[in-house]
Amino acid sequence: MNRRDFLTAALLTPALVAAARRSELDEAGITDLQAAMAVGRESSVSLTKKYSRRIEQIDRDGPRLNSVIEINPDAIEIAQQLDRERKSGRTRGPLHGIPILLKDNIDTHDRMRTSAGSLALAESIAPEDSVVAKRLRAAGAVILGKTNLSEWANFRGDRSTSGWSGRGGLTKNPYALDRNPSGSSAGSGAAVSANLCAGAIGTETDGSIVSPSTVCGIVGLKPTVGLISGKGIIPISHSQDTAGPMTRTVRDAAILLSALAEGDSGKAHADYTRFLKTDGLRGARLGFAKRYQRGNSAKVIENVLEAMKRAGAIVIDDFDDNPLSKAGSGEGDVLLYEFKAGINAYLARLGPSAPVRTLADLIQFNEKHSDKELRYFGQETFVRAEAKGPLTDKAYLEAVEKCNKFARVEGIDALMDKHQLDAIVAFSGGPAGKTDLLHGDRGVGGSSTPAAVAGYPNITVPAGEVFGLPVGISFFGRAWSEPVLLRIAYAFEQLTQARKAPKFLATVV
């Protein structure tokens, strides 16, 4: 922590914190904002201005979360156009005029950069919109800006610190500023939790939506790989990467998923909110994966399971979660091979604003700028990936087969068949560990790997607190089971109402 950060944290009195977080936007959902615009109490322009001011107050000045890496200079103009459409009697749907933030590895062809947080791409303008950006624009969302992230989605080196990037600096956890926001979608998680936007889009390869969502006290949905197009997203792994909604409520996650889901998959639904039911736990068969429970989470988990049983869920007490222990077998090699192929293809299509064209170029760039890029940790992962061969290598094909076998066939699919489950329930991870730039991340545990490696859906919902820090519960299951998971997650959320807004404390314990 530098001197300025230390003084900022020390001077955050309760009165200043309260003043920083008071806003009519606090905890407002997408439906609330639409209702306000419908009666003229708000407009897309007024919401865009209010969220932009709040970013200045929370992200730049007061607590200095540092979650937003760039504000869209065209946001007000876009909002004005959407307000004109509304006045003419046309609205595009639930996202019309709603300000949304995107993780800075999702391409937008506008005046914003897409850099994955790296200095190598700090001036890179994407040649075209990602499909995610196109669909959000078509749905009427205002792309308010880009969020900071763990550089290269936390796939650069050993001893990395989540939430840090060479371009964006360090993002902090809004519950305790000395705690880490976790995962690579750290900025998206912190921004949503702090009410800096109506919702955000993150990306996940393994845990990068679920982990920041749980430690930042929000809902995070990692969909089935292929439900949301990955075109125009800086890649790690084509078999595991996916974008997904990060919101304060399950309903808002369903609204965003409705806009993002691709009909080409053949499994997409036009409106995922229709699956939300307050009694969605009644009769649901759930297997609790005990292996992911941590000692300090025992009481929260006990309360969670009892609440679900009272709501009519059937929780399988003799659930054998041992097959999930092998789900990550082969994952490491798959990610290295696919990253090399994917990043080389992505960099090759960039314009003159990007000084690198290959992974080898990128490694060389970082070495040349090591005083800024490698000051806290290295690029060992990049080097290991560069040493890999093509996707036709026997070692890669065997690793893919191993992942499919242990995560899908003998993992999630077999367990759900054996116990006739609607979903598997697990502790999402957390609470947030203290940020340590010298030694890197301190593991907070997590249950993301089985669904991530399988390419299956996973949703985390706030479940309670440990030492004043939020923790979540995850529901994951078969491919394309988003409707079932949303139904269960919504019922759990409505039953427990566990989310508490952050207070931007300097520390908790």
Q: Tokens representing 176?
A: 């305790």
Q: Quote the pLDDT of residue 22.
A: 56
Residue 195's SS3 state is coil
Q: Phi first, then psi: what are they for 472, rounded to 5°?
A: -130, 170
Catalytic residues: 103, 184, 208
3-state helix, strand, coil in the chain (%, to 5): 40, 15, 45
pLDDT of residue 318: 84
Which amino acid is residue 426, in one-letter code? A
What's the confidence (pLDDT) of residue 443?
76
Q: How many residues does the chain have?
A: 509
Domain-wise residue ranges, the chain: 3-329+402-496
Based on its alpha-carbon atoms, the radius of gyration of the chain, rounded to whole angstroms, reads 21
Enter the pTM of the model: 0.95
Class of CATH domain 3-329+402-496: alpha beta
- pLDDT below 70 — which residues of the chain? 1-22
Q: Which residue has the tokens 């084509």?
A: 238
Alpha carbon distance 200, 218 (integer Å): 11
